[in-house]
Amino acid sequence: MAMRAAATAAAPCFAGSRRHPRVRAQAAAPWAGGAEELVRSGAVRAVRPRDAAQAMRAEGYRLLDVRPEWERARAAVRGSAHAPLFVGDEDMGAVTLLKKWVHFGYIGLWTGQSFTKMNDRFLEDVSAAADGEGKDARLLVACGEGLRSLIAVRMLYDDGYRNVAWLAGGFSKCVDGDFADVEGESKLQYATVGGVSYIFLQILLLLRVVK
């Protein structure tokens, strides 16, 4: 419950000018390692989903998707780079198995979230995805809801990347048409939803309760 509350409190909100959206980040610091300060200061640019296509087309940003493979398979922007921040935890030790059992009972069944661990090769994966541009690469970092991409932004900035932008609020804040070329079975804004919750979502979509 505490984890859920922290994640909720860390969700971004926007006010003020269109160019510099504010970020509610008091609770995000333990999760994102102070990345919100980079956004506030302008060291890392926050880009709303509705402005992402223009930033990519006119300013040369490349979309870097840091979601795990199973979310990306559900829906992704065609041609985007991929470097997962978290990967599936395949450890079969007794303690990990117990944690997986608890995770499935309380979270995984309803949300479809797999038990994960930090990708130890994340920075190497980003370097490979940058197509030889190195740390001069212009990367628009994105995830489902904006928190994991904040963590990624902090890691990249600390590693020397200085042309990094953050997709504010993640793909969950997208609407149809923000990204013209989307592949997969789901809408991009719902790709993070899984498990029983995903079944309920499909029913709501069928009934046109949500769009």
> What span, in angstroms and rounded, lies between the C-alpha atoms of 211 and 205?
6
State the Cα–Cα distance between residues 161 and 154, nearest whole angstrom.
10
174 is catalytic: no
Catalytic residue chosen out of the listed positions 139, 143, 156, 191 = 143
CA distance 153 to 147: 10
The full 3-state SS of 121-144, as one line of letters, equals CHHHHHHHHCCCCHHHCCEEEECC
Residues involved in catalysis: 143
